[in-house]
């Protein structure tokens, strides 16, 4: 039973474009929503995270939008670069910090 649903499975974007990845959750007890970037053969690296008391958080070219009532959150990658080509995972956890991961989105940025 996947607690966090992520879409799309993959996307292709042109250099300079915007990549958008969406996630939805059911468990209203979740209170921590991080996004991770993973390159092949490497561990996930924390990109950005948000808590439910904030509707948007921006760090550089990465922005999380959070809609508590809809139980959805999304990652926007602005001005996408070839180096952004990777797999992105959304996740969620409660106070126990056990992360439930989405299925992942493979992003390919074409030069």
Determine the Cα–Cα distance for residues 64 and 74; give it in Å rounded to an integer.
Answer: 6
Return residues touching other proteins (CB under 8 A).
32, 34, 36, 41-46, 49, 51, 89, 93, 96-104
Q: What DSSP state is assigned to residue 93?
A: B
For other proteins, the closer CB: 72 or 106: 106
Instruction: Tell the smallest beta-carbon distance from residue 27 to other proteins (Å).
Output: 14
Token reading at 49? 């995270």
For other proteins, the closer CB: 51 or 110: 51
For other proteins, the closer CB: 41 or 83: 41
Q: What DSSP state is assigned to residue 3?
A: S
Instruction: Tell the smallest beta-carbon distance from residue 13 to other proteins (Å).
Output: 20
Determine the Cα–Cα distance for residues 63 and 78; give it in Å rounded to an integer.
Answer: 8
């Amino acid at each position: 039973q996947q607690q966090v649903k992520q879409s799309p499975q993959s996307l292709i974007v042109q250099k300079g474009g915007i990549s958008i990845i969406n996630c939805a959750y059911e468990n209203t007890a979740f209170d921590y929503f991080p996004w991770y970037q993973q390159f092949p053969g490497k561990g996930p690296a924390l990109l950005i995270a948000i808590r439910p008391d904030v509707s948007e958080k921006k760090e550089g070219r990465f922005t999380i939008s959070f809609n508590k009532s809809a139980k959805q959150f999304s990652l926007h990658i602005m001005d996408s670069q070839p180096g952004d080509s990777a797999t992105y995972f959304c996740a969620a956890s409660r106070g126990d910090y056990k992360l439930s991961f989405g299925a992942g989105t493979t992003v390919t940025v074409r030069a």
